[in-house]
Amino acid sequence: MREVGIGIAGFGTVGGGVISILRSHAREIEARLGARIVVRRVAVRDPEKERMVDLDRSLLTTRYQDLVADPTVQVVVELVGGTTEARSLVLAALAAGKHVVTANKALLAFHGEEIFRLAEEKGVDVYYEGAVAGGVPVIRTLREALASDRIQAIHGIVNGTTNYILTSMAEKGEPLATALAEAQRLGYAEADPTLDVSGGDAAQKLCLLAQLAFGARVAPQDVLTEGIMGLLPEDFAWAKEFGYALKLLAVARRSGPNGGDAGGLIEARVHPAFIPRDSMLAGVRGAMNAVLLHSEALGPTLLFGQGAGAMPTGSAVVADIIDLSRNLLSGSPGRVPLPPATSTVRLRSHAEIRTAYYLCFSVKDTPGVLARIAATLAGRGISIAAVQQREHEEEGAPVALVIVTHQAREADLKAAIREIDAYETTAAPTRLIRIEQV
């Protein structure tokens, strides 16, 4: 039977998942592929460390170069993480004419251009299904299934940690700190959860999706990014009252008038958003992930599943290894090229982005406050869709005034809020959450 030799760098959670799937599903894989996938080398930092999965010690090495130098390794699987060592390893593997599978979103978000350019030069493939939404086949769908279509918008719940926290807040009415602590206790959030709760992780994934969908070169630091740390239990109560769910969304879309294409402008943003309660995305609970694609011919397509973990991500990595093996065995590497980066696609400036907003003002309960706020909004061309005011709990305490706006320009909205926050009748900075009709 024919063989495809792979080398794996990194033997942590996902690496263990990959090896365990390759082993336990070997028979199915051989039947489907007509060839055997053989692990030739595994590079690790500490060869003495106890592992969840047994492995022949003679395969272990501490030098990544051993994978690159081994002529029997055709595919290098990068599971090291980070962007320094991983970048050197991937570039060295590509330079040596080896194919690469990686689940490293940060690496591709920050160094994708360099990596994809070298891969193209060398006529080898880079596959990365595991980098976004774990085992959910979103990369494959964008690269292949929608090859004939034109994507209009992507709305994703691509960070399981924050979705777990927001689900707890919505369903148990918990404050964020409680929900976060519980997520940490259960292993859904890391000890330092910054990358997740800041929206940074979702922004990196969004860059990969925007590249595939729009041929756009977007860097994580250029994505409008707001995290979840400012959310309060009362936001969820208001969401319910207005018929919304509250989710951390990653959004990339063509950014013309009415969402159409306007000279290659796109927008890319990650932020908490109110979405209609009957939207499929509103049903995505706990640590699950989902990506909703809107395309010209297909209309809406939703892909949903587990976004992380040894087996889901390991499964995506193994599916990539199989796909690459098919290319190798049939002599067709480069079979599905990345969509050409379209130099004419530009990112709309944050100031120009238009969405509807939920605004929560904390105001002193004196006559004329609502009138003044409404006038300020109107002065900036911001039109009001709904207003609600809660009874104050004690005499003289500030009251919450909630205004839902129609679509407004980000710069106008921010300017209006700056103005309103300077009023002496404003008791605390105004809070905002964007509203997405998905």
DSSP codes of every residue in 11-49? -SHHHHHHHHHHHHTHHHHHHHHSEEEEEEEEE-S-TTS
Q: Is residue 301 at the binding interface for a second copy, with CB under 8 A as the rule?
A: yes
CB of 432 to a second copy, least distance (A): 27
Q: Is residue 343 at the binding interface for a second copy, with CB under 8 A as the rule?
A: no
Q: Is residue 61 at the binding interface for a second copy, with CB under 8 A as the rule?
A: no
Q: Is residue 144 at the binding interface for a second copy, with CB under 8 A as the rule?
A: yes
103 vs 403, beta carbon nearer a second copy: 103
Does residue 128 sit in helix, strand or coil? coil
Q: Is residue 332 at the binding interface for a second copy, with CB under 8 A as the rule?
A: yes
Give the total of residues touching a second copy (CB under 8 A): 64
129 vs 235, beta carbon nearer a second copy: 129
Helix 13-24 with 26-33: angle, nearest 10 deg: 70
CB of 17 to a second copy, least distance (A): 7
332 vs 388, beta carbon nearer a second copy: 332
> Is the separation of the CB atoms in 50 and 70 below 8 Å?
no
Question: Distance between CA 132 and CA 312 in Å, rounded?
Answer: 11
- Cβ neighbors of 420 (< 8 A, separation 6 or more) are 361, 373, 376, 426, 430
Q: Which of 106, 216, 314, 431 binds a second copy (CB under 8 A)?
A: 314
Question: Distance between CA 45 and CA 217 in Å, rounded?
Answer: 33
Catalytic residue list contains 247: no
Does residue 271 sit in helix, strand or coil? strand
CA-to-CA dists, residue 235 to 170, 359, 431, angstroms: 9, 10, 10
Q: Is residue 307 at the binding interface for a second copy, with CB under 8 A as the rule?
A: no
The candidate with the shortest Cα–Cα distance to 193, out of 154, 248, 232, is 248
Candidates 26-34, 68-76, 109-117, 347-355: pick the segment binding a second copy (CB under 8 A): 26-34
Q: Is residue 282 at the binding interface for a second copy, with CB under 8 A as the rule?
A: yes
Q: Is residue 13 at the binding interface for a second copy, with CB under 8 A as the rule?
A: no
Catalytic residues: 205
Give me the residues that bind a second copy (CB under 8 A), please. Answer: 17, 21-22, 25, 28-29, 31-34, 129, 134-137, 140-141, 144-150, 278, 280, 282-285, 290, 295-306, 311-312, 314-316, 318-319, 321-323, 326-327, 330-332, 334-337, 339-340
